[in-house]
Amino acid sequence: MEFENVILSRRSIRSFTDKEIPSQILEKIMEAARLSPSFQNRQCWRFIVVRDENIRKKLALKSGLIGKCNFFIKDAPVVVVACADPSKSGTMNDQDYYLVDVAIAFQQMMLTAWNYGIGSCWLAAFNEQKVKEILEIPSKIRVVAMSPFGYPKEKTSLYDKALKTFAGSKKRLPLEKIVCYDKWKK
C-alpha cells in the first residue's frame, strides 16, 4: 500500500476473522517496533505477543477496566501487550518519556500491520494489575497499552457499531482547530 493510503485508510478494528497471521508478517510488525525512535535510543519497551488461545481469552474476559469491555480481543489470533521499563527511559520537563517511546513503537507496529491488511485497536481500558498477573509481568514494568491484531471481519459486531457512535473513526477536529502557525492562537 502507498504510505499515504496507509494513513488515510487506517481505523481501529474490533471484529476479526480467525485467519492466522503468517509468522513472517508478524515478524515484520515486530521489527517496525524495534526500529522506532526512543528517548536517547534507550529502547525501554518490551512487547508480549500473546498467541495462546487460553491466555488471550483470559486477557479478553478478565482484564477489562469495566467488566468485559475488551471481550472482542478473544477473536483476534494475536494480542500484543506493550510494556515498558520506565527506569530505562527518561524524564524531562516532568514528562515521562517511556509512554512516548512505547506509543511511537506501537503505532509503527499498527501501521505496518495495516499495510498488510491486518487491523488493530489501541486499548487503554484494562486493569494493569490483572494483566500483570495473567502474563507474570514483574512489578517494576508498566503495561502501557495492548491491542488485538488480526484480519478485519467484513461484518462488524454490534459492540463495534455501538462504540462508533461515541468514538467514531471519521470524527476529527478540523485542521484550523488543532494547528496554529508561528505562535499559540486562542
Ligand X SMILES: Cc1cc2nc3c(=O)[nH]c(=O)nc-3n(C[C@H](O)[C@H](O)[C@H](O)COP(=O)(O)O)c2cc1C
Task: Please identify which residue in 167, 173, 178, 179 interacts with ligand X, judged by CB under 6 A.
Answer: 167
CB under 8 Å to 145, separation ≥6 — which residues?
82, 102, 103, 106, 122, 123, 124
Q: Whose Cβ is closer to ligand X: residue 33's or residue 123's?
A: 123
Minimum distance, C-beta of residue 24 to ligand X, in the bound complex (Å): 26
- Window of 55-63, 115-123, 150-158, 174-182 that interacts with ligand X by CB under 6 A: 115-123
* 3-class SS of residue 125: coil
Q: Whose Cβ is closer to ligand X: residue 11's or residue 46's?
A: 11
Q: What is the largest CA-CA distance in the chain?
A: 53
Q: Which of residues 6-35 bind ligand X (CB under 6 A)?
A: 11-12
Task: Please identify which residue in 121, 137, 141, 143 interacts with ligand X, judged by CB under 6 A.
Answer: 121
- Helix ranges (DSSP H) in 3-154: 3-9, 23-34, 53-62, 98-115, 128-135
Q: Whose Cβ is closer to ligand X: residue 124's or residue 180's?
A: 124
Q: Whose Cβ is closer to ligand X: residue 40's or residue 129's?
A: 129
Q: Which of residues 33-72 bind ligand X (CB under 6 A)?
A: none
- The C-alpha cell at 60 is 479478553
Burial of 22 (0-12, 13-18, 19+ CB in 10 A): exposed
Task: Please identify which residue in 8, 9, 57, 124 interacts with ligand X, judged by CB under 6 A.
Answer: 124
Task: Please identify which residue in 61, 122, 134, 157 interacts with ligand X, judged by CB under 6 A.
Answer: 122
* Integer Cα distance of 111 and 96 in angstroms: 24
Contact 104, 44 (CB under 8 A): no
The binding site for ligand X (CB under 6 A) comprises 11-12, 121-125, 163, 167, 169
